[in-house]
């Protein structure tokens, strides 16, 4: 790995050595007698300063030109030969013989060896011939290296500018990502706050109503998605009980299926057994306080109980952001499960919890007992979580009880899915409607809409009145029933 790092482009000296070696090998293979390849115009050695300049810049281009010039000079010296000439005829013969090479002729009649002054004069002559033959080539090499280096500098400057802009954009993107995370946190918190006020949108009121539109086993998956939106649950499953409560059968899955198999034995999940026994949510901090044989990945187990506190299903949570796993979020998950279990009970036990309304297809009126248990749940939601609910009593004063069915059909024709209507045993035609988790503005809109639709009935429309009791204004359910009776009286 270190060797590969040394081969990285930042090591220009290594590239210079490699290119020089390659050119020497190629030069020696194709023209071993002409080191420097000067007989080939332009010489391939011109590539060395060009490549180095284009890759590394001006200085590297100059260095490449210097190396190429040294190679050409070395080849020139290799080709040059010195002769000792005594007569002009010998000089003429040598010049004719070495027509294509450089010849230094000494006319002193003696060999140059052992004569430093003659050797110096010979070197001077050799350099003079070198510059006269290849001066333009040397200048071209320096020019090529410099020009290519400047071209590389232009592209490099553009690259540096682009990289700087990319770095600034990356920093800005990182900041925007942080801001987006904080915005999501604020949005999530705002939605939870809106659930306690009068907003009709993004509230538990609207979310619970949507569950009534689910069909069959789709309800369990929709409950998990609701928990994901409201409580940021990321990995969870809902199980129903089978084999006399000894086996858990998965009905819905959110996120990863790790530790959330299709079928689980109840005895293998101690947290689930504890939740069923206590009929309340069990979280991992409480579970860790107990002596357990093996710690699992379960963060929370919440039972979905019906109106008789019997388990319909179990919510098992294995994944949730650490920042969201708070006491408040556990309360919210438990609250959603309580109301979602009522929706499941309405679908699974429709014959025991409600009756069909005559003359209105697809609408059912709940029994008084089921209505009262739901009012109790709404009252508990207000006391524990400050989530307001209301009961709207529609009554036709001074009308005979025999018109009860007619009043029910008139009101139920305009009722919304997710409301809990019921007859509560008053002596006049009436219908009480529980609006769970709904603020004052939503209650007012609902009552006005129902009355406006009922006013069209010529017989009962003029006698029908709406009486609203907000659960946040009463201290007990006895006071609630007293207020409803007082309105009738």
Report pLDDT digits (tens) over 367-398.
989 999 999 999 988 888 888 889 999 988 88
Q: What is the pLDDT of residue 157?
A: 78
- Mean pLDDT, all residues of the chain: 78
For residue 115, is pLDDT > 50? no
pLDDT single digits (tens) 176-229: 988 888 888 787 777 666 655 544 434 677 888 888 888 888 999 999 999 998
Instruction: Measure the CA–CA gap between 453 and 414, rounded to whole angstroms.
Output: 7
Q: What is the pLDDT of residue 6?
A: 41
Q: What is the pLDDT of residue 4?
A: 37
Q: What is the pLDDT of residue 293?
A: 54
pLDDT single digits (tens) 41-72: 788 887 888 888 888 878 888 888 888 878 87
Q: What is the CATH number of domain 352-488?
A: 3.30.70.2880
Task: Establish how many alpha carbons lie within 13 A of residue 21's alpha carbon, considering only the half-sphere containing its beta carbon.
Answer: 6
Q: What is the pLDDT of residue 107?
A: 42
pLDDT single digits (tens) 449-487: 888 888 888 888 778 888 888 888 888 888 888 888 776
Residue 417: other Cβ atoms inside 10 A: 11
For residue 8, is pLDDT > 50? no
For residue 237, is pLDDT > 90? yes
Q: Looking at the structure, give the CATH architecture of the domain made up of residues 204-348.
A: 2-Layer Sandwich (3.30)
% of residues, the chain, pLDDT over 70: 80
The b/e string for 17-37 (b: 16+ C-beta within 10 A; e otherwise) is eebbeebeeebeeebeebbbb
455, 465 in Cβ contact below 8 A? no
In the block, tokens 């013969």 appear at 93
3-state secondary structure the chain: CHHHHHCCCCCHHHHHHHHHHHHHHHHHHHCCCCCCCCCCCCCHHHHHHHHHHHHHCHHHHHHHHHHHHHHHHHHHHHHCEEEECCCHHHHHHHHHHCCCCCEEEECCCCCCCCCHHHHHHHHHHHHHHHHHHHHHHHHHHHHHHHHHHHHHHHHHHHHHHHHHHHHHHHHHHHHHHHHHHHHHHHHHHHHHHHCCCCCCCCCHHHHHHHHCCCCCCHHHHHHHHHHHHHHCCCEEEEEEEECCCCEEEEEEEECCCCCCCCEEEHHHCHHHHHHHHHCCCEEHHHHHCCCCCCCCCCCEEEEEECCCCCEEEEEEEEECCHHHCCHHHHHHHHHHHHHHHHHHHHHHCHHHHEEECCCCCCCEEECHHHHHHHHHHHHHHHHHHCCCCEEEEEEECCCCHHHHHHHHHHHHCCCCCCCEEECCCCCCCEEEEEECCCCHHHHHHHHHHHHHHHCCCCCCCCCEEEEEEEHHHCCCHHHHHHHHHHHHC
Which token pair is 327?
A: 């006491």
Return all residues near 380 (Cβ < 8 A) that are at least 6 apart. none
pLDDT single digits (tens) 121-140: 455 555 665 666 666 777 87
Domain boundaries, the chain: 2-167, 204-348, 352-488
This prediction has a pTM of 0.56
Task: Please name which of 250, 265, 258 lies closest in space to residue 220, comparing C-alpha atoms.
Answer: 250
Return all residues near 233 (Cβ < 8 A) that are at least 6 apart. 224, 227, 254, 317, 319, 320, 333
């Amino acid at each position: 790995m270190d060797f590969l790092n040394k081969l990285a482009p930042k090591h220009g000296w290594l590239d210079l050595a490699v290119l020089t070696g390659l050119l020497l090998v190629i030069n020696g293979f194709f023209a071993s007698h002409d080191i420097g390849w000067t007989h080939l115009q332009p010489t391939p050695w011109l590539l060395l300063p060009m490549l180095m300049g284009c890759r590394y810049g001006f200085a590297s281009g100059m260095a490449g030109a210097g190396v190429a010039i040294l190679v050409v000079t070395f080849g020139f010296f290799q080709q040059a030969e010195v002769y000792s000439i005594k007569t002009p005829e010998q000089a003429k013969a040598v010049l004719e013989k070495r027509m294509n090479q450089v010849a230094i002729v000494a006319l002193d009649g003696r060999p140059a060896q052992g004569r430093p002054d003659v050797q110096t004069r010979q070197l001077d002559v050799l350099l003079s011939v070198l510059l006269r033959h290849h001066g333009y080539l040397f200048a071209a090499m320096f020019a090529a290296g410099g020009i290519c280096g400047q071209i590389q500098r232009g592209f490099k400057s553009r690259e540096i500018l682009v990289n700087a802009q990319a770095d600034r954009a990356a920093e800005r993107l990182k900041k925007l990502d942080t801001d987006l995370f904080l915005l999501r946190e604020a949005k999530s918190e705002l939605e939870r706050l809106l659930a306690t006020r009068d907003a009709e949108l993004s509230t538990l009121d609207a979310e619970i109503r949507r569950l009534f539109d689910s069909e069959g086993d789709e309800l369990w998956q929709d409950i998990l998605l609701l928990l994901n939106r409201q409580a940021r649950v990321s990995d969870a499953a809902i199980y129903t009980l089978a084999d006399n409560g000894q086996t858990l059968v998965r009905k819905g899955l959110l996120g990863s299926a790790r530790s959330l198999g299709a079928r689980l034995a109840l005895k293998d999940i101690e947290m689930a057994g504890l939740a069923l026994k206590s009929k309340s949510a069990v979280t991992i901090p409480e579970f860790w306080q107990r002596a357990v044989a093996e710690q699992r990945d379960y963060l929370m187990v919440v039972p979905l109980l019906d109106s008789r506190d019997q388990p319909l299903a179990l919510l098992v949570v294995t994944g949730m952001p650490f920042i969201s796993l708070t006491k408040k979020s556990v309360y919210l998950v438990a609250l959603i499960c309580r109301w979602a279990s009522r929706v499941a009970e309405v679908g699974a036990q429709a014959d025991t919890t409600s009756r069909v309304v005559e003359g209105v297809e697809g609408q059912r009126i709940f029994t008084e007992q089921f209505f009262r248990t739901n009012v109790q749940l709404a009252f508990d939601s207000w006391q524990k979580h400050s989530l307001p609910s209301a009961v709207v009593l529609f009554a036709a004063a001074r009308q005979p009880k025999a018109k009860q069915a007619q009043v029910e059909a008139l009101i139920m024709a305009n009722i919304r899915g997710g409301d809990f209507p019921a007859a509560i045993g008053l002596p006049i035609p009436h219908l009480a409607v529980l609006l769970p988790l709904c603020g004052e503005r939503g209650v007012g809109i609902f009552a006005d809409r129902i009355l406006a639709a009922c006013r069209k009935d010529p017989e009962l429309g003029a006698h029908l009145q709406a009486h609203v009791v907000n659960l946040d204004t009463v201290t007990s359910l006895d006071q609630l029933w007293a207020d409803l009776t007082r309105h009738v009286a």
